[in-house]
Structure 1
């Protein structure tokens, strides 16, 4: 197979030669370096590469080019090579445009010219992007096909699981010719969706998440029965604990029920995370953290639900079901929170069929040209509004309070105010919904006057509340009145140590009422609900794990 291609396009011949020279010097032995002097010439080159069946790893495009600027070129190039990494070359005065391009073409990076020395400013960026490209499977090589109905909740569940686990697949509607052919070949009808066809041609009808995980190459069975550290939950806090635990030599396993990343993994763009001035999507951040944990030797167990925690002598046992369990010296609880269900008449029956909890980025292209309604006024709702504005005719943000300033970051409010297709509806609640097989109408209520109105709506995305799923810890670990895990000083606020606490010391800062069991991130009572703080608590929990183990 031919070496993959790196393409650069710049209308300044001197700059074009300099880019190609620096790229050949570092990557010429492993990649084919191609340069073009205009966006049109570059697209012609891409079409030729596509026809030959070659691979494109990365594109670098100058922003200021006549006839077709760099953003326009990258947007057109995405149709030919959607997996290729995208870099915009800019002058300092074009920084604003480069930041805007992040949302337009899902830009991976922008580089300020000049980048001398390349060893410091160019090669580290390219190295990281090429590593990401190699880690992303090509759907043409490992393609899972999913046949389903647009408004089928089980079909959505399959697509959502694959998307959140970064598994490439092709979505086919059951009433389209190719979807019908696959159903007929499997001896099924449109009523039998979802149908999943593996790359080997094996049909799976309404598969479980564990079956999907196995087909996607995710680990579902623990390799051992005892570990130094078991992490429950694969959000930022859990991934942080897994990375630091494994990198410091602890035998570490992370158990995740659905997909690594948690709520943060569904964010279309996180722009206030330290070290990512250009912003980073939740899926990109999750993918990097997951690969980092695996690199250090952590074991990641997917599609497994922890149903009980048991303190057994010096060990802590996690029960994964009636016949499966793992034990560890220590446990970090990092199960995060989930969005609260909307208490509105008639909406429960449309979950996954027009009503979605979280960003459901799998549905964004399907919203093209239609109105989308978003409930919530915090950052997750704002990020979703910006993302859906790329597809929807209009995005309606329903806010129970008078404005967004109380719960949303100012940078996000500024972005929303600059997008003409996003409309904020203050003092507005959803009181009901109706439809035939899927959501078709919403009833909206003014939270001050109580006046109601009905709107046509097929898409509702909910981002309200934060509920920890900690019922499985009932009677084992102390929780507050809302179900969050109480830790450290809060356990001894009244002067007494937790019932059953037999150690001569007070609980460590992130330690629960069970010695050796720690909580990190959103599931912890009184925690700061931010991605950065969750990662920090995951790392801090590991330092306390070491202190606990050293004292045993």
Structure 2
């Protein structure tokens, strides 16, 4: 077995395990034996994968495109080795090329069979699942195997697309045509004009000119059309902690489940630099890692995930709930769970829109940290998310100005974060202030000003990156015509809060439930959202049992 050094890792025995004869025999009834000729492709990047492919005889060379027209080898699988990574749980396109070296006989297990193995064969399933996860990690670290984004690294649209792919756990590479001759040569045949950039080259060979996220997602096979004739037991709107928890429990208990999210899995929690007070992770965990595990867990139990896809409306037709989707599609379900969370709040008196993506950010990930490394930055917010972001950025920036309207943090932030901020010398807490002005051009910030609310004194600093973590508003506008009761702030009313006094998590509309940040009265914590996601499944079972003839 020859691994490519760029993704070599001490965990490679787990990444590329070899299955013994007894294990292979246990897998045989999940798939069928297929023979391949020398040089024949078992998988092609950009084409829908077969699922899990176990090599019975012969050898298979696995490689990935390097973004410059060439290929780099990853591994050569012999008998007992198996092909596949996380994409194969849902039958998504392969990210690598797998070519037979000589005649090959293999056991091909479709995605449905792979998911059945993970549930029915606990020990063997653990070995396979760990390998699938580690292989995706290797692809993410190498940046190869996914789309290539060609454009300036500080361009707002490059950052928008890179954030989208990163938040969705999709490997990708960014090349700067101004400094990379190979990048310039790569796009020269397309004769791009500045308005075309960034250009995205998909694994299929298709070229996109400054695409939106939905177009890019469909090009790389992240999302597929929803069958309007399928009746799901439950459709969950939102893939944050509450939505994913509901999906995992519903899927594991045999409910046919659909999850729809307009942006990425994980919600606001997925953008958290580090979560340190979540049960079971004493050293902390990044929000993306935690939510990525939940996303894979949902796929393991056969949950169908449509991300990104936006729900625009909810109606009830002939006793069935129907979701209208942005792409003109519809989805039908016996029950619906609203877990659409919240959207980031902006400043009240300063328009930040021209600077979004390039200079104004609503989370602090390694991508944003790379952009502002060695600089002074300003951060607005006094909650836990703001504290986590401030500590994360302080390790990479010269200075972090933490701007808050109040006179301290103790009333709004966990004690451990307050203590850590006080102990970090390059975080300066500026109290009693609010941002009053932004200066810049062409979408890039040059300076930020803030005013003391009592004295009126204005401070102006040469700051090129501003982080806004000032809470959120319920993402429930799509319910305007659905007949679901909401409070004045837009949060969904449930239980006794409804005029018709429903049970816990039930809304005013039959078969519709609400959990997480979108629900009025919910506790805005990751663990609380996960708990509500688990609890609502019991309510779903009760409702579906009542509705079944």
Q: How far is the alpha carbon of 1:164 from its aligned partner?
A: 0.8
Instruction: Give the conservation status (yes or no) of the 8 Å contact 2:144–2:173.
Output: no
Task: Give the match for residue 539 of structure 1.
Answer: 534
2:285 corresponds to 1:290: no
TM-score normalised per structure 1 = 0.74
- Pairwise CA distance, 1:29: 5.9
The secondary structure found in structure 2 opposite 1:307 is strand
Residues 357, 27 of structure 1: CA spacing in aligned structure 2 closer, same or farther, 3 A cutoff?
closer
Superposed displacement of residue 527, structure 1: 0.4
The within-5 A match list for 1:168-247 is 168-178=171-181, 179-223=183-227, 225-247=230-252
2:14 and 2:130 in contact (8 A); partners too: no
Q: What is the rounded CA distance, in whole Å, between the counterparts of 1:292 and 1:360 in structure 2? A: 23
Give, in angstroms, the shift of residue 128 of structure 1: 8.4
Instruction: Supply the distance in 2 between the matched residues of 1:217 and 1:25 (Cα, whole angstroms).
Output: 27
Structure 1 residues 3-14: aligned runs within 5 Å: 7=10
Question: Aligned partners of 1:265 and 1:290: how far apart in 2?
Answer: 11
Matches within 5 A, 1:94-493: 132-136=133-137, 138=139, 139=142, 141-178=144-181, 179-223=183-227, 225-321=230-326, 323-359=328-364, 361-437=366-442, 438-475=444-481, 476-492=483-499
- Which residue in the other structure is 1:37 paired with? none
**3-state SS of the aligned residue for 2:510?**
coil
Higher mean displacement: 413-422 or 125-134: 125-134
Mapped partners of 2:430, 2:344: distance in 1: 20
Q: Provide the rounded CA distance (Å) in 1 between the counterparts of 2:531 and 2:489.
A: 23
CA contact (8 A) 1:400 1:427 kept: yes
Q: Is residue 550 from structure 1 mapped to residue 548 from structure 2 by the alignment?
A: no
Q: Which runs of 5+ in 1 are unaligned?
A: 9-22, 32-51, 56-123, 498-505
Alpha carbons 1:145, 1:196 under 8 Å: kept: yes
Quote the Cα distance in structure 1 between the aligned partners of 2:414 and 2:130: 29
> 2 CA distance for matches of 1:125 and 1:408?
38
The alpha-carbon deviation at position 162 of structure 1 amounts to 0.7
- Match of 1:467, SS state, is strand
Q: How far did residue 182 of structure 1 move? A: 3.1
Q: Distance in 2 between matches of 1:322 and 1:522?
A: 26
Dislocated runs of 4+, deviation >4 Å:
3-6, 23-31, 52-55, 124-131
Helix, strand or coil at the partner of 2:435: strand
User: Cα RMSD over matched residues?
Assistant: 2.8
Mapped to 2, the partners of 1:456 and 1:3 lie a distance apart of 47
Return the alpha-carbon distance in structure 1 between the equivalents of residues 301 and 126 of structure 2.
Answer: 22
Q: Tell which deviates more after alignment, 539-548 or 355-364.
A: 355-364
Q: What is the DSSP-based 3-state SS (H/G/I as helix, E as strand, rest coil) of the residue aligned with 1:300?
A: strand
**Structure 2 Cα separation of the partners of residues 3 and 457 of structure 1:** 44
From the superposition, tell whether residues 392 and 327 of structure 1 become closer, same or farther in structure 2 (CA, over 3 Å).
Answer: same
1:527 to 522, 528, 545: 522
TM-score, length basis structure 2:
0.74
Which ranges of structure 2 fall in alignment gaps of 5 or more residues? Answer: 21-71, 76-124
1:336 Cα deviation from its structure 2 partner:
0.4
Alpha-carbon offset, residue 130 of structure 1: 5.5
CA shift digits 1:281-303 (9 cap, x unpaired): 11111111011001001000012
